Structure formats: structure tokens, C-alpha cells
Structure 1
Amino acid sequence: MTVAQNSAFSSLNANTTTGNSTYNQNIIYMTSSGFNYYDNTPALVKNTKFGTYTKVSDNPLTIKYTINKGVKWSDGTPVNASDMLLNWASSITKYNDPKGVNFTSVYAGTGFDLITKTPEISDNGQSITFVYDKPYVDWELQPIVNMPAASTWELAGIDSKKGKAAQDAVVKAIQDNDTATLTKLATAWATGFNFEGMPSNKAALVTDGPYVISKLVKNQYVTLTANPAYNWGPKTHVSKITVRFIADQTAQVQALSNGEVNIIYGQATSDTVKALSAVKGVTTTTTPTSDYEHIDLTFNNKGPFDPATYGGDAAKALLVRQAFLKSIPRDQIIERLIKPLASNIKPDNSQTFIPGQDGYDASVAANGSSDYATLDNAGAKALLAKAGVKTPVTVKFAYANDNPRRAGEFQLLQAAAKASGFNVVDVGKPTADFFGANGLGSGKYNYDATVFAWSYTSLARTGAESQFITGGNSNFNGYSNKTVDADFKALETEQDNAKQIALLQDVDKQAWGDAMSMILFQLPDVTAHSNTVENVSDAPLVPNVFWNFFDWTVKK
């Protein structure tokens, strides 16, 4: 079976700042396994064939995870507690220090920080027990197994140990707080699993899921072959899945029409929908997703939105940011680019809730988003005049320039913002580079504003924490607000639903008040598949259409 997605695969580790993309997560989902996953309702489904977890105590919150015997990495090494211990170590702030051991994990500063005591290993290395200092609201949704400990050791090049000996060495380094060894492991964990073609070191290819990567051609396709040993999760029905990287949606439709691909999925346009209507033998669906498009402004690059540009004058920088948000033609973007896909799409007016979610309406009523409800060139001009800045104000704008929708968004913004007194300069990159090692989140991409989508992989209350908190590894724009930091810290341990909502509503209000970002809309997911394949269905959470790849079948 062959599937088309918009952009290339580049990493088997989506928990790093540079590997955390939907396009990587799709492939990782099909090549990995774990304690649970979401179906398309979305409800959390436990995978007891992989292992089990038990709440041992509520006070202190204590969770014991046990991986079943027989669960193996694709090189034959057992999946065990060493892998769970490495995942914990890679996720805590202590080991995400730019001046020391630095795994660069997107989970740094989140719930794993509440586990300050090194977790204990038991049951001959099959179990691990996490003891939280305080109850953590999203404990069940944290990733528990990520990268293989033995492969990480091998990629670090510390010595020749492999398999169990390497796993034991990783455990010892963590238990002994051996920072010299952990520094090497962190580098290997963060970079060793990044590759755009087949890696020379096969340790980088080791996975624990139903498929393994058997072929990868840079910027073209990845082929996944069924793992013959896999029996610790849902049974698959297709021996080989190839995912082609086709940025142009029109080309995706043509490939589907020609029978070159069976499923297409990604950043659809009105032309895509029109073209699909003419293709016979194809089923097309449009599904609301949890992904949301947004424009972020950079606070820490000495650009037009950074107080440092104005000698530390935060009030002046805020006025310029507010002026820019007033210059975003959100209604035009939705009307021209999105409504042809889904006519009921409306603007999204919350930084922390999606439309229809409990708390959204009340948050929107009080968060200040109404100040930016429509394009307001006159209001923007007045704010720039009040700031006393020379116009036009140059804004370097980053986006995936081979994505037709994002290109359209840039063009509409550039024209609208010009009337306010902004010179919006194109610094876009192709998708593979935009999300690549030197792109978004790398610290090597110089831009003042950017557009992309955040994708929810779970229903975790703290799911967006690393995007907002000071120094968060998904906080790509240098945003910092002490109240927001405190709100998320409180949210981590808050058990009352109403109070959880109130904390997120305050984050929403603070973010709009700081003019840090403009939320545009929820992305509609347009998926089409040939009628020669069965059991294809979409889901609101990432990995979207891939959620039940194990059910896919090809008609004989």
C-alpha cells in the first residue's frame, strides 16, 4: 500500500525540538509501540499486549509500568526498564541544560519534573516505578518508552557494548548521575536518530513496532516492511507500506488518480477538492482536526517585536506587535483558502482551547481576542504612530513556501500589512527545510514572524505547556510571561476540572494581552483513498488517518 503525505520524514525521534513534526510522527507511529493509543472518537485504548500500568498509590502518586516479556526491539534486544528510565532522564529539566547535559526534549520542564527521585527498576528489569512529588494531572498521557537505550549507547560511540550490556550501562549512568557519559548519550539521543536517507549506522533504525524502515530515499519516500516478530499490539494486514513525500496536493491527486498511491492526506486546497471530485473510484472525507494554524511573533531576535530593539522598551514592542496582529487578514485567509474545503470553518479565537471544547466560549469572551477580530489597517497605523517607530517596519516572515496554502496566506498577509505600514519580507523555505535541522526551533532560522500548525497528539491538559513556558523546548518565539509559567505549574497538579479550565483561560488572556500570536483556524483534514483499500478512516488527533493503519486492507 502507498500513502502520500506533504513533507519528508527526517527523524525517528519526535521528542526533540527539531524532530517534533507531524510528518515524522506518522512514520514513528507505525514503527513503534506502547502502553496506549487513541482511537478516532478519540478515546484512549490500552495495549495490554505490550504491557500494563497500575496506580499503586494516590499519595504520593505512584505508577508502576511493566513491559511484557517477549516485547523486543527490531534488533532482538528486549524492550525493558532501561528504555523507560532513559525516557524519564531525557525529559527532565536537569538533563535539558544548554550548559550541561542537554537532550533537547520537548517534554523538558513538564510533568516528568515532578518525578525527582530516580525511578526504581524491578521484576528483573521489566518494570519501573514512578513516584511523583505531587499528583500530576496528565500522568497517563506521558510517553513512557521512546528511544532504545542500547541503540542510544551504540550511537554515542562510548564503547563497543551492545544489547543488554549497553542497556545496563545506560541505567548505571543515570543512576550514578554520570554527567560525562550522559552528555554523550544526550547528543546521540538528540541527533543520532535524525536521517533523511538510510543511515550508515543501523542502530539508528531500531524500532519496537509492527513495521521497520527498510528503505528511505531523501525527499522522495520511505518504505516500511512488516516486523515478523511483532505480536505485542494490533495485528496488521499489509506487508509493506510506502509513504511518498509529495508537497504539491495537485500532484497527490494525480498520483491517486493514476493508481500510484492508495491514500492521500495533508494540506489540501480548494483546487485539491475540485480535482478530487473528478476522480472516479475514490472516497473523500473532510474531518475537523485538533490542528490549528497560527502566526507567531518572535520576542528574542532583536527584530521589530523584541523589546531589545527599542532599548528594552517593552511597551513600545507591544504596540508594534499589536499593530501587526491587527494587520493580519484572517477573514480573507479563511474565506479564500479554507472555506472551499469546509464551508463551516470559523476563526479560532483561543490560544488554549479549540472551538467546541469546554471553556472555549467563556475564554473567548474575556481573553481580548476581539481586538483582532478583523483586519484593521487604521488601528494598526495608529498603534505604530503611538509607538513612534519609523515605517515601513520590516518583518521577516517564515513559512513553508512549497505549501500552496501557506504561500497563499503569506501573499494575503504581505498585501494587507503593507497598508498598515509593514514591509513583510519573504524568508520562506521548502517544507523539508522549514521543519529541518536548520529550520523552525533550531535557533538557526532568522525570522520575525512565522506561520505553521500545532498538532495535538493527546487530550492532555498540559499538552501546550512547552509552547508557552519560559525556555520551553517548543517555545520557538522566545515568549516569556511569569504568570503563564505559574499557571502551567499550577495546572500540572490541579485535579479540579473547573480550576483547570480557569488556569488555561488565564493563559489565554495573558497570551492575547502580550500579542504573542494570532490563532487563525482549525485545520480541516481532507483525506482521499482508492476504493481498492478498506478500513481507512480519519481521526482528529495526530496521526490522523494513520491512527488505524493496522486495520488497513487491500481488496483482492
Structure 2
Amino acid sequence: MVALLAAVVVSGCTAAPEPGPTPADEVVVAVSVPFGSLNGATPDGRTPGSTLVRGLVQDGFVSLDARGVPVPDLTFGTVELLDEDPLTVRYTIGDDARWSDGVPVTADDLLLEWAARSGALDDVEPRLGADGEITNAAELDAGVAFAATSPALVHVHDQPTVDDEGRVTLTYAHPVADWLAALDVNVPAHVLGESVLGVADRATAADAVTRAIAARDAGALSRLAHAWRTAFDADELAGAPASAVTTGPYVVNAVLPDERVELRRNAAYRGARPARYQRLVVASDLHPLDQVAGLADGTVDVAAPVASPDVLEAFAEVGAEHVAAGDAAWQLVADTGHGGVLAPGDDGGADRAAQVREALWLTVPREQIVQEVMAPLWAQASADDTVLPTAGEGAGAAGVPPQDVSRARALLTRAQTATPVRVRLAADTADPLRARLVDLVVASAAQAGIEVVPTAPDAAPGAWDVALVTHGQDDLPAASVAGLWGSDGATNATGWSSDATDDALTALTEDPEPDDAAYDEVARTLLEGGAVLPLVRAPCLTAVPGTPAADRPDVDRVGPLQLSRADVTDWWSWATTSDR
């Protein structure tokens, strides 16, 4: 794109204003998920809309591909494994790594992220009510509460060291498989040094943050933690866009919460993927069909609406070119820790409960679900065998036994279980796709003598036996699997507990270079135990105009936008170039 030139017209002492970007210099991307925060370590910053924007405005040491494999960016810097015992990792920041306001990225930025994510400095933890909302906000604000402890960085107990060359070294007290993606640049230390600590000199503002960390200055840390948690949220950035300082090819120009984020080319960028356009808008306030209409009338250049038959029909009507792919993974999981017919503690013991779980899974018509629920939206849909989707596409893929109602009946007979066996299924049947899936599960299970009874998706533990869940990718693959399936996992909602699974998880999470076989072993224990049944991946649709308007940019190479991914940096390749 030709850079815009400011025109100055001599007319007395009056200069003409700078012209805005021509339409061909601005791209509009319409999605159905709002932006929440630039801080990728907060709940709002991990939402799909935030991940989408951050993938274009933030560079770092590594990004994650769809399979959960770290992809290094050597122009930003390097991450080196120095030793395995104890696990020791060194970060070297590249000369071209700098914030969008021109300030170089330094060790101070990494030390701030360690302070926030290790939990080492927090002196108060958030308490949640029954509705999941924080109940001690005042206590958090009064204390030191970054409230974002990472399951990886929690094992870095001591403050990282910085050598004379500005290289940062972390020493872990415990082996961590996700070390390569555990720490990265997130929010700018110098911005917090200016706004929170009152240091006007940008060159020393970041160092003031590091000094507060090293001194364990409770007053300064309390203010820093509060700003770290909140200052980069959409509502705050709407009133203070100058705080939206980032490291990627584009920079935030304006935020309209729940409506749009306006980006512009980052003039200070020296990295590997410069901006292709002068301006880019991510709009989230358009109805799916209005997104399609925008493709037709030239107000939208890329649309990623929620997949539905109406959207597909509208694509055809306006001649849009669309691509489809699988996105979030749908699975059935069994509650094995809170009583009920599928739990080992129920009448009949562990063997009987395991046989009932196996029988139930054998009734599920996975191929019928594919053909009747997903294929109408995505012709290439197929049954998904990925057992561990939080680790990435294909993680723990295993052969799932085919539907076999006769064998399911035989298992129930062998278990000496009276039929019909009543199984409560927690699912969101307000969604048409999920409702149709549940109908198919109910009908097929009945043939084997299992009465599946749908119940509310937010039912408490013990009020359901099976749940239809949706999983996206996590930014710490191994840790996410351990959290979900370890006996003491922080996110283990099913109560699954197995020595075999725990042993496999230990082998996975303590290996600094885990391979596919380590994930496969965890998956094998879960499938053999009847803990989970993979089903399908929900479809995602992404479209561009069939024929762009004459005054609109001709976008190309736009792939399917999979919003369940933890990192979509590579999706934005069409909006960047390789010209440095």
C-alpha cells in the first residue's frame, strides 16, 4: 500500500487537515465475539475476541499453531533450555523488539509478567460466589493481587535473574513441560511505571516497576497489580487508547466496547510480519446475516459469522466465497466423582459403573451426529477422535469404538443392572445443533435400555451423570490436560480419579520435551476408563466477497477463523507481509 502523505496547502496561515485512509487502505473484519482486554493473562483477555485482536497487535517469543506446537519468532528473541535439572530457561530479547511507542522491550517487561503470573507476590486471592463472581473485590484492591497465577510459572519461586546483556533466566523448582510457552511479553512495564508509579521518563519507568518488585514494595505492588488487572480492559482503553501499547504489526487506535476495535499500522514495528494495510477494523456488533450483507455492499471485507443454515444460504445469495473447518471440540464426559449411576461409589462398585459407562458410549451415534448435525454446515465434517483438545488439534487422538447397541445391551446384562438405566445429560438444548445431537443420543441409548434425560447445562456436580461439553485450545497444553484429568486437577469437574491417568500425566508434565506418545498414553487411560467420548468439532465459516468492490481491498489467503484456538497469530498472515 502507498503511504498516505500529509498535504499542506498555503492559504494564509491555514493548513489543510491530513486526509484519512482511502477505502483500499482499510480492511473491515466482522466477527461475532467482542474484544475484552489486551492482557492475555486475565479472563477477559483470554476470550476469543481478545485473542483475535491480540494475534495482530502483539508479537512475542513464540506463538502456538493449531496443534499446540510453539512457533518461535527469532526476530523478537530466543528462548533457550539451559538445563533440565533444575529446569533452567533463558530469554534473549532481540534488538528489533520494541513497543509501538518506540520504547524497546526489556527484561523489565518479562520480570513484570513473572511477578504477575508466578503468584509469588500475591498476598490475597480472589474468592468466588456461587455465580462465579468475585466476592472480595475490595480486599483484592487493598492487597497485592495480580490474581493470575500460571500453572507453569507457579514453579518459578525466585525472582528471575538478569545478566549484563539483559538476558533473563528462570529457574523452575519443578519440571514443566510447557516451559517454551510459559513466559512471554504481555503488557508494557514502562506504561505502568508512568501511569501507576508516576515516573515521567519512559527510559526509567520500566526500571521503577522492577525496583518495586525486587523491594517487595507492598504499596507500589498493590497499585501495579490493580492496574495490571484492569488498565488494559476494553472499557478502560476506550477512554485511554494511548495505554494500548503493543509489540505487533498493528496498534490499537480506538476501542468501542462491544462494537469494534480500530487498528492502524504500527510505524515503530521492526518485526517479521509488517502490516499490509494502513488500517484494520475488527467489528463485533453485526448480526451474522448483517455481516453477510456487508460483504455484498462493500462495508465488510472478511466475515466470520456464527455458522448456521441461514448464513450458508446468504453466502450463496450474495456470491461470497467461504471456507469451513472444524473449531471447538464437542465431547461427552462422565461424572465419576459425585455419586450417580456412572460413579464407582454407586451401588455395584467400580466394575459395574465402568460397564455402564462403556455401554452408554457404545450407544452414541457419532456418525449420525456428523451427518445430521454438522455436515449440513460443513460438508467435510467427520467424527473427531481427539481426546485432549485443550492441547491442540489431534492431541491424544485414539481409535474410538464404533456404535454397537447390541454390545451395549450385553454389557448391561453382564453388569446385572436393571433397565432402563436412567442417565442425566447436562446440555444446552436451547442451541439447535446441541438439541438435535441430544435427540440422537436419547433415541439411540433407548435401544439399549438406557433412558437419557436432558437436564440444565449449569446443573451442579451430582445433579448430572453426563455432560455435553465444548473444549477449545489452551495456551499451556500439558498443564491444561493435567488440570482437567488429574485427580487433584484445578479444573477437574467430573471427579475423574485414576492411578493410570495420574501416572501418565506425571510422565507428560515432567518431560521438558513431551512427544505425541505422552499425550496418547493419557488419552488411552481416559478412553479405556470410560471417562470421555470425543464426538465432533463444531464448524466455523469465514467468507470474503466473491468480487470485491472497485474501491475495496482485494483480500486473499484468508483461511477459516477457528476462534477456539488459544492463539490465532498465523490466521492473520493475510493482513501482514514478509517485507521488512
Q: TM-score, normalised by structure 2?
A: 0.70
Alignment correspondent of 1:294: 331
Q: Which residue of 2 aligns with 1:547?
A: 572
Partner of 1:436: none
Over 3 Å counting, the alpha-carbon distance change for 1:320 and 1:5 in structure 2 is farther
Q: Is the 8 A contact 1:136 1:492 kept in 2?
A: yes
Q: Equivalent of 1:452, from 460, 463, 470? A: 470
Task: Note if 1:64 corresponds to 2:82.
Answer: no
Task: Please give the alpha-carbon distance, in whole angstroms, between the structure 2 residues aligned to 1:355 and 1:213.
Answer: 29
Q: Which runs of 5+ in 2 are unaligned?
A: 1-26, 127-143, 549-553
Q: Are 1:265 and 1:527, in contact at CA under 8 Å, matched by a contact in 2?
A: yes
In the TM superposition, 1:181-260 aligns within 5 A as 185-186=224-225, 188-195=227-234, 198-200=237-239, 205-245=244-284, 249-260=288-299
Read off the aligned partner of 1:294 and give its amino acid letter: Q
Task: Please tell me whether the aligned partners of residues 331 and 374 of structure 1 are also in contact (alpha carbons under 8 angstroms).
Answer: no
- Cα gap change, 1:257/1:202 in structure 2, threshold over 3 Å: closer, same or farther? closer
1:51 Cα deviation after fit: 3.0
Q: For the residues of structure 1 that align with 2:456 and 2:50, how far apart are their CA atoms?
A: 26
- Residue aligning to 2:168: 128
Alpha-carbon shift at residue 25 of structure 1 (Å): 0.9
Do the aligned partners of 1:89 and 1:174 also contact (CA within 8 Å) in 2?
yes
Match of 2:455 in 1: 425
Structure 1 residue 203: Cα displacement: 7.4
Aligned to 1:518: 533
Aligned counterpart, 1:333: 369
Per the alignment, in what secondary structure is the counterpart of residue 282 of structure 2?
Answer: strand
Q: Go from structure 1 to structure 2 and tell me whether the alpha carbon gap of 1:544 and 1:53 turns closer, same or farther (over 3 Å shift).
A: closer
Report the counterpart of residue 261 of structure 1 in structure 2: 300
Instruction: For residue 42 of structure 1, report the CA deviation from its aligned partner.
Output: 9.7
Change in 2 beyond 3 A, CA 1:38/1:243: same
What residue in structure 1 maps to residue 31 of structure 2? 5
Which of 511, 536, 540 is equivalent to 2:557?
536
8 Å contact 2:362–2:408 — kept in the other structure? Answer: no
Question: Are positions 1:32 and 2:50 aligned together?
Answer: no
> Which residue identity is paired with 1:535?
D
- The alpha-carbon distance between structure 1 residues 415 and 303, as it changes in their structure 2 partners (threshold 3 A), is farther
Distance 2:403 2:359 in 1: 13
The 1:87–1:486 alpha-carbon spacing in structure 2 relative to 1, beyond 3 Å, is farther
Q: Secondary structure at the match of 1:421?
A: strand
Q: Tell me what 1:468 maps to.
A: 485
Equivalents in 2 of 1:82, 1:355: separation in Å? 31
What runs of 5+ residues in structure 1 fail to find an aligned partner? 429-439
Q: Which residue of 2 aligns with 1:504?
A: 519
Deviations 1:166-206 (A, max 9, x none): 53354345445567765665555445544368544557633
Query: In the aligned structure 2, how far is the partner of 1:411 from the partner of 1:490?
Result: 39
CA 1:493–1:426 in 2, change beyond 3 Å: closer, same or farther?
closer
The aligned amino acid for 1:67 is I
Task: Report the counterpart of residue 388 of structure 2 in structure 1.
Answer: 352
Q: 1:176 to 1:284 in 2, by over 3 A?
A: same
* CA deviation after TM superposition for structure 1 residue 5, in Å: 2.0
Aligned partners of 1:359 and 1:505 also within 8 Å: yes
Report the counterpart of residue 110 of structure 2 in structure 1.
84
Taking the TM superposition and a 5 Å limit, the aligned residue runs for 1:16-165 are: 16-17=42-43, 19-37=45-63, 46-56=72-82, 62-68=88-94, 71-74=97-100, 77-92=103-118, 99=125, 103-105=146-148, 108-110=150-152, 112-113=153-154, 115-123=156-164, 126-132=166-172, 137-151=177-191, 160-161=198-199
- Say if 1:270 and 1:338, in contact at 8 Å, map to a contact too: no
Cα distance change on mapping 1:468 and 1:104 into 2, 3 Å: farther
Comparing 317-326 with 535-544, greater Cα deviation is found at: 317-326
Deviates more, 1:237-246 or 1:204-213: 204-213
Mapped to 1, the partners of 2:405 and 2:286 lie a distance apart of 30
Contact 2:386–2:396, Cα closer than 8 Å, also in 1: no
Q: How big is the shift at 1:145? A: 1.1
Q: CA deviation at 1:136?
A: 5.2
Instruction: Using the TM superposition, give the Cα deviation of residue 120 of structure 1 relative to its aligned residue in structure 2, in angstroms.
Output: 0.6
TM-score, with length taken from structure 1: 0.72
- Structure 2 CA distance for partners of 1:389 and 1:160, relative to 1, 3 Å: farther
The SS at the match of 2:248 is coil
Partner residue of 2:207? Answer: 168
Superposed displacement of residue 144, structure 1: 1.4
The structural deviation recorded for 1:466 is: 3.9
d(CA) in 1 for partners of 2:559, 2:95: 33
| Cα displacement (A) at 1:347 | 1.7
- In 1: Cα distance, 2:124 partner to 2:344 partner: 22
| 1:500-546 CA-partner distances (Å, limit 9, x unpaired) | 44432332133335544432224554322225323323278641773
Structure 2 residue matching 1:534: 3-state secondary structure: coil
Classify 1:308/1:511 alpha carbon distance in 2 versus 1 (closer, same or farther; 3 Å). closer
Aligned equivalents of 2:230, 2:345: Cα separation in 1: 33
Identity of aligned residues (%): 24
Task: Give the letter for the 1:534 counterpart.
Answer: V
Which residue of structure 2 aligns with residue 285 of structure 1? 323
User: After the TM superposition, which of the residue ranges 544-553 and 386-395 deviates more from structure 2?
Assistant: 386-395
Write the letter of the residue equivalent to 2:41: N
Task: Map Cα deviations across residues 68-121 of structure 1 (whole Å, 9 max, x no partner).
Answer: 45644345554221221232333336568985876454x7223x3554442112
Structure 1 residues 375 and 269, CA, compared in 2 at 3 Å: closer, same or farther? farther
Change (3 A) 1:201 1:242: closer
Shift of 1:207: 2.5
**What letter corresponds to residue 169 of structure 2 in structure 1?**
T
Structure-2 separation of matches of 1:178 and 1:482: 44
**What CA distance in whole angstroms lies between the structure 2 residues aligned with 1:97 and 1:390?**
53
Cα-to-partner distance string for 1:206-233 (whole Å, 9 max, x where unaligned): 3332223333334333222223322334
Note the aligned Cα RMSD (angstroms): 5.0
Larger radius of gyration: 2
1:445-493 CA distances to partner (integer Å, 9 max, x unpaired)?
x9983532313669x6666444434565665666555654443333234
Shift of 1:160: 4.1
